[in-house]
C-alpha cells in the first residue's frame, strides 16, 4: 500500500517533466478495496479485468513497480500494451490480468464471457470485473449483470463507489444512493456492501464474495464505498466542482493513513518498523523509476504490427477455386453443413445469438437448424436480445483459451447490429492494443442486404461503415461454395471476421453450387466469374448475380464483360482489381450499398491512384442512392441496383 501510493503520487510528475503518464487517474481513497481485489486474485487461474483507476489492484495482484511505471511512461517493454494503449491501463495477459479499453465498464461483458468459459470447462476460478459506480449507468453493464445472473456465472462485479463520474455526482446518475441495490430484484445474484476505505472490511467482503461464487455458483456484486482524494484525472480540476470543505473531508478519510494509525494503535507495528517500510518503498520506487527510464521506447516502424493475426492458410485450395462435380447445394445448406462440420472438427467451438435454439428453429433464417440437437445446449444456445452482450461475451470467452473459436449471430438482421458497435470497435483493436498478446477468435454472422422487400431495419447494407474500422476481416460471398469456404477459413483463423450473408440468396437457385466437403477460400482472394475484354465489372454479394445477368445480356449483343467477384472486402484483392483495369481499361464498380461513401468508393480510389494511366474513361459506380431502402417492393426496385441498371450503365461506359 505504501509503495503503491508512492507511485500514485509520483505519476503526475512524469507528465510535468514531459516523460509520459499523459493519463493518470489517481486511486488514492480506493486503497482498501483495490488491495483486496488483488489479494483474492489467483494469477493464471482467475481472470481479472481492471479499470483505468486500478493501479493498486494491479500491484496487489502481482505486477511490479517497474511494470506499473513502464505502462505509465509507455515503454516498449510495458507488459500491458508495449506503449500502444493509454497510460494507467494496467494488464498482464499471460497472468489473466486482461487488457481493457478506456470505455467505462465495457469490460464487464468480457468478464461475463470469461466466466462462461470457466463454468463450461469446470474450472474452480472466478472472473472479476472492477469498475466505478458510474459505469452501472451504461446499458451494457446492465446486460452483463443480467446475463451473469441468468446463466449463474462465476463472476464478481467489484464496484468502487467514490460518488463521482468525473465531475458528475452520483445523484445525477441514479436515484438509488447505493447503486448496486438497483439490481436487488435480480435472481441468482448476491449483493455485498463494504467500506472500500477499510482494508479489513474490503478483504472480508472480497473473500466472502469469492467463497460464495465458488461454492454457490452465482455472481456477486461487491459495492465498496470509497472516496476520491484527488481529481478524476490529470485533465480534471476537482476544485471547480468540489468545495474546499469536501476536498478536506476526503483527505481526512485517507485509507492508508487510517491503516497506518490502526497498525500503531493495535501494536502490530512500531513507528520505526513503519518508517523502515516507507524507506524501503522510496528505494524500490527509485530503482523502478531508473530501470523504466532506461527501457526502450516503441519502434515507430512497428505501428503496422498486430492489426490482424495471420489467417488459416489453405494448402489444397490456395486460390479458393475447385473443379468438383456433383449435385448443387443452396447457400443456406452450405452454411449449415459447414457449421456442423467445423463444430465436429473443433470441439471447442461455440455459437450463440437470437432465435438460435428454439426447438427446431435455428436462427431467424434457420441457418443453424439442427446444430443444438447435434452439439447440445452448452455449445449452441440463445442469447438475450442484447447485441452488445452477444459481442462482448464472445470477446470475453475467447480470452479463456486460444483453442476456443466462437461464432455469433451478431443480430437477426445486419441493420440491428448497431447496438453492438461499441463492442465491435473495442474488439477490433484488441490485437493491436495488447501488442499481439490477445485477439478475439470470433466469427460474426450477419444476414445482410435487401431484395427481400424487408425495408427499414431489414434490408440495409452496413459494410461501407464497417470497412472503415481496421482489425476485422470482412467477407461477403455470392455463391454457396464461397460461403462454405469462407466460413471454414473464418472459423479456423485467429482473429475476428465479419461474415456478411446475402440473405436474399439463402435459397435462391442461382447461388447454388457444387461444394467440396473440405472447401476453403482464402481471405483477400477475388474470383473471376466471367472472362471478357470489353468492360471490367467489380462486384460482390447480391449484385454479383445481377452483373452476370447484365454481362450475358451484353454478350448477346457481342460485348464481352469480365466480372470479378471480390468475395473479401477486408483484405481486398487489389492485385486482381488492378490486373483487370490494366487489361481492359473500362471499369464499372457495382454494389448494393449506397454509392455515397459505399465500399465502391474505396475500389474506385484505389484504381485512380494506382492504375489511372490504364483507364479508357472514368470509373463508373452503380449502387443505391443516398436514401434508406424502402419497404414496398416498388420502392425497393426503384432504389436497389438491378440487371437493367447495370446494363444501361455498361452501355454508357462503352460509348466513351
Residue 408: strand pairing partners:
352, 444
SS3 126: coil
Instruction: Name the catalytic one among 458, 545, 546, 591.
Output: 458
The alpha carbon dihedral of 573, 577, 579, 580 has a sign of positive
Residue carrying C-alpha cell 489467483:
42
SS3 191: strand
d(CA 485, CA 483): 6
Burial (0-12, 13-18, 19+ Cβ within 10 Å), 634? exposed
Q: Helices marked H in 153-243 — which ranges? A: 199-216
Cell numbers at 497, concatenated: 471476421
d(CA 193, CA 171): 18
| Phi, psi of 178, deg, nearest 5 | -95, 95
Query: Which is it for strands 190-195 and 568-570: parallel, antiparallel or unpaired?
Result: unpaired
Instruction: Report how far Cα 71 is from the mean position of its chain's Cα atoms.
Output: 22
Q: Contact, 161 vs 133, CB < 8 A?
A: yes
Cell numbers at 458, concatenated: 431489414
Tell me the CA distances in angstroms from 319 to 13, 172, 511, 525, one per residue in order: 56, 58, 20, 7
Cell numbers at 484, concatenated: 462454405
d(CA 530, CA 536): 10
Closest to 132 measured CA to CA, from 201, 61, 54: 54
Q: Contact, 2 vs 59, CB < 8 A?
A: no
d(CA 80, CA 89): 7
| Phi, psi of 558, deg, nearest 5 | 85, 15
Give the largest Cα separation in the chain, rounded: 100
Query: Which is it for strands 535-539 and 587-594: parallel, antiparallel or unpaired?
Result: parallel
Torsion of CA 504, 510, 511, 516, to 10 degrees: 160
Is 458 in the active site? Answer: yes
Q: What is the spatial order of strands in the sheet that 587-594 belongs to?
A: 527-530, 561-565, 535-539, 587-594, 620-624
d(CA 354, CA 101): 27
DSSP state, 610?
A: H
Q: Contact, 627 vs 642, CB < 8 A?
A: no
SS3 468: coil
Task: Tell me the catalytic residues.
Answer: 458
Amino acid at each position: 500500500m505504501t509503495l503503491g501510493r508512492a507511485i500514485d503520487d509520483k505519476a503526475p510528475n512524469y507528465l510535468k517533466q514531459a516523460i509520459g503518464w499523459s493519463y493518470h487517474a489517481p486511486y488514492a481513497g480506493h486503497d482498501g478495496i483495490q488491495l483486496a481485489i488483488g489479494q483474492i486474485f489467483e494469477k493464471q487461474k482467475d481472470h481479472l479485468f481492471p479499470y483505468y483507476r486500478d493501479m493498486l489492484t494491479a500491484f496487489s495482484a502481482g505486477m511490479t513497480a517497474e511494470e506499473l511505471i513502464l505502462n505509465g511512461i509507455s515503454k516498449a517493454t510495458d507488459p500491458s500494451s508495449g506503449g500502444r494503449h493509454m497510460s494507467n491501463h494496467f494488464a498482464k495477459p499471460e497472468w489473466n490480468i486482461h487488457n481493457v479499453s478506456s470505455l467505462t465498464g465495457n469490460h464487464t461483458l468480457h468478464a461475463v464471457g470469461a466466466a462462461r468459459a470457466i463454468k463450461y470447462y469446470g474450472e474452480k476460478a472466478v472472473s472479476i470485473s472492477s469498475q466505478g459506480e458510474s459505469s452501472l449507468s451504461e446499458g451494457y453493464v446492465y446486460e452483463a449483470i443480467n446475463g451473469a445472473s441468468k446463466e449463474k456465472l462465476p463472476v464478481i462485479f467489484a464496484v468502487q463507489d467514490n460518488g463521482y463520474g468525473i465531475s458528475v455526482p452520483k445523484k445525477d446518475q441514479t436515484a438509488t444512493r447505493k447503486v448496486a441495490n438497483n439490481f436487488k430484484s435480480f435472481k441468482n445474484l448476491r449483493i455485498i456492501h463494504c467500506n472500500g476505505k477499510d482494508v479489513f472490511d474490503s478483504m472480508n467482503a472480497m473473500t466472502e464474495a469469492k467463497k460464495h461464487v465458488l461454492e454457490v455458483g452465482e455472481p456477486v456484486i461487491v459495492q465498496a464505498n470509497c472516496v476520491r482524494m484527488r481529481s478524476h484525472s490529470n485533465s480534471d480540476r476537482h476544485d471547480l466542482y468540489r468545495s474546499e470543505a469536501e476536498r478536506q473531508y476526503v483527505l481526512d478519510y485517507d485509507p492508508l493513513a487510517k491503516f497506518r494509525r490502526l497498525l500503531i494503535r493495535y501494536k502490530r507495528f512500531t513507528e520505526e518498523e513503519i518508517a523502515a517500510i516507507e524507506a524501503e518503498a522510496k528505494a524500490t520506487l527509485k530503482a523502478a523509476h531508473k530501470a523504466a527510464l532506461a527501457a526502450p521506447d516503441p519502434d515507430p516502424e512497428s505501428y503496422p504490427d498486430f492489426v490482424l493475426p495471420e489467417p488459416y492458410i489453405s494448402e489444397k485450395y490456395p486460390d479458393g477455386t475447385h473443379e468438383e462435380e456433383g449435385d448443387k447445394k443452396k447457400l443456406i445448406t452450405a452454411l449449415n453443413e459447414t457449421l456442423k462440420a467445423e463444430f465436429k472438427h473443433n470441439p471447442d467451438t461455440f455459437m450463440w445469438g437470437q432465435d438460435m435454439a428454439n426447438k427446431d428453429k435455428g436462427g431467424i433464417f434457420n441457418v443453424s437448424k439442427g446444430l443444438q440437437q447435434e452439439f447440445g445446449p452448452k455449445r449452441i444456445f440463445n442469447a438475450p436480445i442484447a447485441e452488445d452482450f452477444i459481442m462482448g461475451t464472445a470477446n470475453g470467452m475467447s480470452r479463456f483459451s486460444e483453442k476456443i473459436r466462437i461464432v455469433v449471430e451478431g443480430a437477426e438482421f445486419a441493420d440491428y447490429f448497431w447496438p453492438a458497435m461499441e463492442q465491435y470497435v473495442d474488439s477490433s483493436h484488441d490485437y493491436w492494443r495488447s501488442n499481439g498478446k490477445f485477439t478475439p477468435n470470433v466469427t460474426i454472422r450477419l444476414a445482410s442486404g435487401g431484395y427481400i422487400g424487408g425495408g427499414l431495419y431489414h434490408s440495409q447494407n452496413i459494410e461501407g461503415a464497417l470497412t472503415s474500422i481496421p482489425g476485422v476481416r470482412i467477407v461477403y460471398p455470392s455463391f454457396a461454395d464461397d460461403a462454405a469456404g469462407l466460413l471454414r477459413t473464418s472459423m479456423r483463423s485467429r482473429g475476428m471476421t465479419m461474415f456478411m450473408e446475402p440473405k436474399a440468396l439463402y435459397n435462391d437457385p442461382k447461388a447454388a453450387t457444387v461444394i467440396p466437403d473440405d472447401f476453403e477460400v482464402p481471405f483477400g482472394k477475388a474470383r473471376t466469374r466471367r472472362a471478357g475484354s470489353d468492360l471490367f465489372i467489380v462486384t460482390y454479394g447480391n449484385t454479383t448475380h445481377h452483373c452476370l445477368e447484365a454481362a450475358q445480356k451484353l454478350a448477346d449483343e457481342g460485348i464481352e464483360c469480365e466480372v470479378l467477384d471480390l468475395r473479401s472486402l477486408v483484405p481486398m484483392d487489389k492485385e486482381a482489381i488492378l490486373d483487370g483495369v490494366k487489361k481492359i481499361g473500362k471499369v464499372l464498380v457495382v454494389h448494393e450499398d449506397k454509392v455515397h461513401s459505399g465500399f465502391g468508393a474505396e475500389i474506385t480510389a484505389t484504381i485512380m491512384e494506382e492504375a489511372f494511366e490504364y483507364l479508357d474513361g472514368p470509373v463508373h459506380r452503380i449502387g443505391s442512392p443516398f436514401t434508406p431502402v424502402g419497404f414496398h417492393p416498388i420502392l425497393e426496385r426503384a432504389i436497389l441496383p438491378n440487371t437493367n441498371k447495370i446494363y444501361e450503365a455498361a452501355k454508357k461506359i462503352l460509348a466513351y
